Amino acid sequence: MFALLPPATRALIVTIAAVFLLQLAAGDLLLVWFALWPLGSAVPLPGATAGFLPWQLVTYGFLHAGPLHLFFNGFGLYMFGPDVERVLGARRFLAYYFVSVATAGVAQLVTSALAGGPGYPTIGASGGVFGVLLAFGMYFPQRVILLIFPPVPLPARVFVVLYAGIELYLGVTQTQHGVAHFAHFGGMLGGFLLLRYWRRRPQRW
């Protein structure tokens, strides 16, 4: 089943799983250099001082906080990535995914700077996954998604709008401390703007 996934989706899932295994072996070293640290932060860790570096806007999306975090992001890519990749093609799908990851990171940096909070790092592929979810809702608006809890079937378009609204609300109200809700919303917003741009400039074959 996994071997039947389109190449870009399969490569992303394999890569985030491989990096997680590397995390288990390397400990905090990968977090120091590749997690997304707030602007201006200089957080002392054993053997190093962690702070923001430009490439972290992409690399943070390959790190995860634990097996459950990895599973949900990998499952999201598995569920929604193949259909979106078949519409966009592998190259555009990867470009779209990484733009969503980067805009999610920017949203998190801005939110962190405005909040003036502690220098905690952001990790996880959620920004990219939320971008893929938005693309799925735009390209397959009538496809029915069955929620796990509550077990209610919803059209993809309704599900995406509802989810975006929940993320925005949770971010504004600072609910679920430690979850980067604005990053999720930023990934969806970046993906939406890129899709609108591509629709105005059709792909040249």
For the stretch 166-199, pLDDT in tens is 766 666 665 555 567 778 889 999 999 999 999 8
Question: Shortest CA distance to 75 belongs to which of 29, 159, 12, 18?
Answer: 12
**What confidence score (pLDDT) does residue 152 get?**
80
Contact between residue 32 and residue 63 where contact means Cβ atoms under 8 Å apart:
no
Domain extent listing, the chain: 2-200
**What confidence score (pLDDT) does residue 156 get?**
86
**What confidence score (pLDDT) does residue 32 get?**
83
**What confidence score (pLDDT) does residue 93 get?**
97
**What confidence score (pLDDT) does residue 135 get?**
96
Contact between residue 190 and residue 131 where contact means Cβ atoms under 8 Å apart:
yes
Architecture of the domain defined by 2-200: Up-down Bundle (1.20)
Partner residues linked to 155 by β-bridges:
144
**What confidence score (pLDDT) does residue 205 get?**
44
**What confidence score (pLDDT) does residue 201 get?**
73
Q: To which H or E segment does residue 99 belong?
A: helix 90-115
Cα 112 from Cα 81, distance rounded (Å):
29
Q: Does residue 142 sit in helix, strand or coil?
A: coil
**What confidence score (pLDDT) does residue 39 get?**
84
**What confidence score (pLDDT) does residue 153 get?**
83
**What confidence score (pLDDT) does residue 173 get?**
60
**What confidence score (pLDDT) does residue 193 get?**
96
Contacts by 27-32, CB closer than 8 A, 24 or more apart? 30/63, 31/63, 31/121, 31/123
How many other CB atoms sit within 10 Å of the CB of residue 151?
A: 7
Cα 140 from Cα 130, distance rounded (Å):
15
List of the chain residues with pLDDT < 50: 205
